[in-house]
């Protein structure tokens, strides 16, 4: 086996493929990166028990072959090499890597015992890569990191014809985003619960491609595939029951406030500076002004207060939130004006972006946030 490849292309591909390698595993071979050199080019792949990654790249192949090389060591080496073509050849059980005046010799791993990659499901449809990455980024902020509650560490993907709905919750907030896509069959209706970390990293890494293809296997197979720009990855779905989130979104509200997204974010950040751990931030929405306050309670505790212009319809309301959760939702708003819809101080508020009147459309993003009870 012998091939030559561009250094930057190789380093980028190896770095992407090693994302799927396990940090700990009972099978040491899974720490290897699988390389297949063919006359048509080079294929790199890696996988663990749940995630697989495969990338195709152009290479000048002198001798076809297959090998298994320690993945993270290969990644460290390729990204540190000078800007010159990389040549890799296999000599018995050793891999020789040459680039300019640099040379490395690595032990290979028994490739015959390497487990095969999961089969990529049949493509279900495609979506604009940048829009998909943006939608995923908006939603994953609400996913839990508590591995003892697996249902809340995932993003629920509901597909109904030409619309995909993404949803995530950690029980204290809920993020929902609707986005259009192009399915292979307009009658498609399916769903998947996908690990939030996998979905976030994959969508971000493929955002520079033009289109991303999504592939949903049957629930019994429990696999989702994502493909774009010559890169292909799969993940096992989470075997857990996601809550029926649509019933959590209120159908009406008694108070609706519109406020500058940037102004509200900055005000919340400044007031948060004086908050003790787990202290809420309080917002009072008046007819023309929102008062953001926090801290205080006794003479030796700092407090802060900010005033931001707003336009409120309905009764004045004072409501308190976890400041970090509130900022997560506000930062996910892709609109200059934020709409906060409320029914009572003790009931969830829904945060959305104001419709773009020029485009005559809404962002399709909703962020439901549980309030904190005030004394």
Q: What number is the average pLDDT over the span 213-221?
A: 81
The share of the chain scoring above pLDDT 90, in percent, equals: 84
Task: Say how far apart CA 343 and CA 328 lie, in whole Å.
Answer: 21
Per the prediction, the chain carries an average pLDDT of 93
pLDDT reported for residue 300: 73
pLDDT reported for residue 220: 61
Of 274, 273, 264, whose CA–CA distance to 307 is shortest? 264
Q: What angle do CA 195, 362, 201 make, to 5 degrees?
A: 20
Q: Which residues pair with 231 in a beta bridge?
A: 55, 228
pLDDT reported for residue 217: 83
How confident is the model over 165-198, as pLDDT tens digits? Answer: 999 999 999 999 999 999 999 999 999 999 999 9
Of 171, 222, 177, whose CA–CA distance to 203 is shortest? 177
pLDDT reported for residue 219: 61
pTM for the whole structure? 0.91
pLDDT reported for residue 357: 55
CB 335 within 8 A of CB 353: yes
Task: Give 96's Cβ-side CA count (13 Å radius).
Answer: 7
Question: pLDDT band for position 348 (50/70/90)?
Answer: very high
Q: What number is the average pLDDT over the span 325-340?
A: 96
| Domains, the chain | 2-113 (3.10.150.10), 125-246 (3.10.150.10), 249-369 (3.10.150.10)
Is the model's pLDDT at 116 over the cut of 60?
yes
32-36, 44-48, 221-225, 344-348: which has the minimum mean pLDDT?
Answer: 221-225
44-53, 160-169, 263-272, 323-332: which has the minimum mean pLDDT?
Answer: 44-53
Task: Say how far apart CA 160 and CA 341 lie, in whole Å.
Answer: 27
Is the model's pLDDT at 359 over the cut of 60?
no
pLDDT reported for residue 360: 43
Task: Say how far apart CA 335 and CA 337 lie, in whole Å.
Answer: 5
CB 84 within 8 A of CB 7: yes
């Amino acid at each position: 086996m012998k091939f030559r490849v561009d250094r930057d292309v190789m380093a980028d591909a190896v770095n992407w493929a090693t994302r799927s390698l396990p940090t700990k595993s009972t099978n040491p071979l899974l720490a290897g990166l699988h390389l297949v050199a063919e006359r048509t080019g080079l294929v790199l792949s890696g996988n663990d028990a749940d995630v697989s990654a495969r990338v195709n790249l152009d290479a000048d192949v002198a001798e076809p072959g297959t090998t298994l090389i320690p993945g993270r060591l290969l990644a460290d080496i390729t990204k540190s090499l000078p800007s010159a073509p990389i040549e890799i050849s296999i000599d018995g059980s050793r891999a020789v890597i040459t680039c300019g005046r640099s040379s490395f010799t690595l032990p290979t791993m028994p490739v015959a015992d390497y487990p095969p990659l999961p089969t990529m499901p049949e493509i279900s449809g495609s979506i604009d890569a940048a829009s998909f990455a943006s939608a995923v980024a908006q939603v994953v902020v609400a996913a839990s990191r508590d591995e003892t509650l697996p249902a809340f560490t995932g993003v629920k993907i509901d597909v109904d014809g030409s619309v995909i709905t993404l949803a995530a919750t950690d029980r204290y907030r809920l993020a929902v985003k609707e986005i259009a896509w192009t399915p292979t069959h307009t009658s498609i209706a399916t769903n998947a619960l996908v690990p939030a970390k996998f979905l976030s990293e994959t969508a971000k890494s493929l955002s520079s491609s033009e289109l991303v293809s999504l592939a949903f296997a049957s629930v019994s197979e429990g696999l989702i595939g994502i493909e774009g720009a010559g890169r292909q990855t799969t993940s096992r779905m989470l075997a857990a029951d996601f809550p029926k989130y649509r019933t959590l979104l209120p159908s009406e509200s008694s108070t609706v406030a519109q406020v500058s997204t940037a102004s509200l974010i900055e005000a919340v950040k400044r007031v948060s500076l004086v908050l003790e751990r787990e202290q809420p931030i309080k917002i009072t929405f008046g007819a023309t002004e929102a008062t953001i306050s926090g801290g205080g309670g006794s003479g030796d505790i700092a407090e802060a207060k900010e005033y931001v212009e707003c336009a409120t319809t309905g009764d004045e309301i004072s409501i308190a939130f976890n400041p970090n959760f509130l900022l997560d939702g506000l930062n996910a708003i892709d609109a200059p004006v934020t709409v906060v819809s409320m029914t009572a101080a003790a009931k969830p508020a829904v945060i959305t972006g104001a419709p773009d009147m020029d485009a005559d459309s809404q962002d399709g993003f909703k962020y439901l946030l549980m309030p904190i009870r005030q004394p």
